[in-house]
Chains A and B, each alone.
Chain A
Amino acid sequence: MQYLPNFLFAILLIFGIGFFVKNIKKLYRNINLGKDIDRSDKKSERWRNMAYIALGQSKMVKRPISGFLHIIVYVGFIIINIEVLEIIIDGLFGTHRIFQGFLGDSMYGMLIGIFEVLAALVFIAVTIFWIRRNVIKVKRFWNKEMKGWPKNDGNYILYFEMVLMGLFLLMNSTDIHFQEAGIGNVISQYIAPLFDGFSNGSLHLIERTAWWIHIAGILVFLNYLYYSKHLHILLAFPNTYYANLEAKGKFTNDKNVTKEVQLMMDPNVDPYATPEEGAEETVPEKFGASDVTDLNWVQLLNAYTCTECGRCTSSCPASLTGKELSPRNIMMKTRDRLEEVGKNIDSNGGEFKDDGKQLLNDFITPEELWACTSCNACVEECPVSIDPLSIIMDMRRYLVMEESAAPQELNMMMTNIENNGAPWQYNQQDRLNWKDEE
């Protein structure tokens, strides 16, 4: 019976981490449903971007208030995790504050002191985040796509963090020896008086309860990530690493189109030639993208990384003028569809069974896609280097090249280019008339 708590703790830990690993595998599988794209070049630039943008939060602070608060939560989150290490060791071996012995009172006191201050700061920052979302109602958290689950998800995460930080401080406040020793109880010493008059027994019970709920809460939170926008705390790192490094104005040249155009324009090609025996079949399934599996894996990683902060949408000219398009929603819908495809594969023994749906029309409408000005404001704004524009462009390519479904005016523009080399109906022979028109 003596080892029952250790045993329970080990089980909790194994389940918590095991379930998390299972979901991470699923995440990896789903991202790899995307088409291949080579992002193995320029490694040093990629590491640098990851260090500046993800680790260094360089783009977060472009909006100073939320950026500053976010850094507090982020630093707090990372540093307080050192304490989780102690909790795990204590839990497994039945020790209590094992680092205190290792590090000595002064060092340990300093560490815990820092944790306590950070916990309090995180609590305050998260509270301000909650107020921004729910009381001040910052506009980007109230766009049309932020209803139901996305809205609740944002708040649940804040509640989680408040509760976890609160439990950490409560645990310290009711730890009799810790308070008596008076080391590192920078914040908790002000909470401890609330429990004056409690018997040692009840204090110990509160302390143990807080300790257990705290660690259980952390494991639950860890497993909540996969279902939440909060995955960014992990994926921001690979996402900034694998991000596009080219000029933002450079859109990909579809290689399959190049092949076909070269064939069309090469006078030496025999159009009736049969492909050589064993020659690689190069005709692509389709041009552009109509479903998530037509996108590349970086675009799918983007979708899972999006934390729905809405900076993109709040800077998108189409969104700002009331159009249906919202770049954030493009990412959210891509993720929703990807999840749906993933579940479909899981329930059909590892193979995707046609469900009569696709990303285009069932999730993202042509109206949204055609409202984009390709201005790159969304790409510029994203604090974790997500590229919604590339998805919009791939889907436009499908609409135009596979379905000839461009708006009528654009079809006219393209016909004009084909016929007279300009988007308007002017004669190419008049192209230089401007020089004498003054």
Chain B
Amino acid sequence: MNVPTMAEMMAEGKKPEVLFWVGSAGSYDDRAKKISRAFVKILHQANVSFAVLGTEESSTGDEAKRAGNEFLFQMQAITNIEIMNAYEVETIVTCDPHSFNTFKNEYPELGGNYKVYHHTQFIKSLVDQGRLSIKDENLNGKRVTFHDPCYLGRANNEYESPRDLIRRLGVNLTEMKRHKSTALCCGAGGAQMFKEPEKGNKDINVLRTEDALETKPQIIATGCPYCNTMMTDGVKAKNMEESVEVMDIAELIANANDL
């Protein structure tokens, strides 16, 4: 798969339209890597000139910040900003709402000012500009429910871009009782992804999966690699993995377009 790096582009004297920030999950987590590849296929289909930082990319520091380690966060942020500013990055797109949030809201004060897009926003803009069309035959009529990522939804008030894309797939979008601003967290945020939960009577991802299963979905659509993991585990915990798929919107679009 052709994924140019900023360094390669620079060596050729070229500057991409957008930096694809892959993020740690998208780079290392087996499930999330598929999302990264699906998104790259979409970028290629729409002829977007993009590049990644590759081995120059490092953690945004977001998970350290949510865990309370402001030192580590700011060290990571300032290092990343130095690299991105050296490449004169203007626009960033990422499949990870946590990276999206910290770039958009927390990096500017530290010297990193970029136009930041979540991949669903970016794909929507490609569709709106006529650079990409989404086929609605392949998934036609399937029952889909969308789980709002907290850091896209409540944190940044973006509820419509992902839904707009899902509707274009020609599927039957059914909302959970808790959705948009009242959506329940998948349980991964605030650095919970990296630790065992405190003692309680249920796992949050199971509760959220129950919300989703109430809509009798064939597909649970996500827009965050961590949500994807949590919902996939939740579906397994409910022994529903035979009949319910957990898919990122980028994957749904890549599948719909036979990419």
Contact = CB atoms under 8 A, between A and B. Distances in A.
Contacts of B175: none
A429 B185 CA distance: 33
Contacts of B37: 434-435, 437-438
B106 A251 contact: yes
Contacts of B109: 253, 258
A410 B194 contact: yes
A182 to B, nearest CB: 50
A367 B198 contact: yes
A224 B78 CA distance: 51
B52 A401 contact: no
B190 interface: yes
Interface in A232-287: 246-251, 253-254, 257-258, 260-262, 264-265, 287
Contacts of B208: 317
Contacts of A247: 101, 104-105, 155-157
A315 interface: yes
Chain B CB within 10 A, most for which of A257, A288, A417: A417
B59 interface: yes
B172 interface: no
Contacts of A426: 27-28
Interface in B1-17: 1, 3, 5
Interface residues of A, number: 70
A4 interface: no
Given A373-B190, A423-B59, A435-B1, A321 B200 contact: yes
Nearest to A433: B27
A372 interface: yes
B76 A417 contact: yes
Nearest to A432: B54
A66 to B, nearest CB: 15
Nearest to B201: A322
Nearest to A249: B155
Interface in A367-397: 367, 370-377, 379-381, 393, 396-397
Contact of B195 (A250, A261, A397, A407): A407
A106 B47 CA distance: 76
A318 interface: yes
B95 to A, nearest CB: 12
B237 interface: no
Contacts of B189: 373-375
B182 A380 contact: yes
Contacts of B55: 428-429, 431-432
A421 interface: yes
B67 A413 contact: yes
A321 B202 contact: yes
B68 interface: yes
A261 B155 contact: no
A370 B40 CA distance: 36
A407 B150 CA distance: 23
Contacts of B195: 370, 407, 409-410, 413
B57 A431 contact: yes
Given A249-B105, A317-B185, A257 B5 contact: no
Contact of A372 (B40, B190, B196): B190
Contact of B78 (A265, A418, A421, A428): A265
A116 B204 CA distance: 49
Interface string A302-325: 000000000000010110111111
Contacts of B155: 247-250, 376
Nearest to B189: A373
Contacts of B182: 315, 377, 380-381
Given A424-B28, A436-B1, A413 B194 contact: yes
A380 B13 CA distance: 47
B198 A432 contact: no
B200 A434 contact: no
Given A249-B155, A431-B27, A437-B33, A418 B198 contact: no
Interface string B63-85: 11111111110111011000000
A87 interface: no
Contact of B204 (A257, A317, A396): A317
A17 interface: no
Contacts of B198: 318, 323-325, 367, 370-371
Nearest to A438: B37
Given A409-B195, A409-B196, A317 B24 contact: no
21 contacts: A247-B157, A253-B109, A253-B110, A257-B74, A320-B202, A321-B197, A367-B198, A371-B200, A373-B192, A373-B204, A374-B190, A397-B68, A400-B68, A401-B70, A406-B69, A409-B196, A414-B64, A414-B67, A421-B24, A424-B29, A438-B37
Interface of B: 1, 3, 5, 22, 24, 26-29, 33, 36-37, 40, 52, 54-55, 57-59, 61, 63-72, 74-76, 78-79, 101, 104-106, 109-110, 150-151, 154-157, 181-182, 184-185, 187-204, 207-208
Given A376-B150, A421-B59, A424-B28, 13 more contacts: A247-B155, A247-B156, A249-B151, A320-B184, A320-B204, A321-B207, A375-B150, A396-B68, A414-B64, A417-B58, A422-B27, A431-B22, A432-B55
Interface of A: 246-251, 253-254, 257-258, 260-262, 264-265, 287-288, 315, 317-318, 320-325, 367, 370-377, 379-381, 393, 396-401, 406-407, 409-410, 412-414, 417-418, 421-424, 426, 428-438
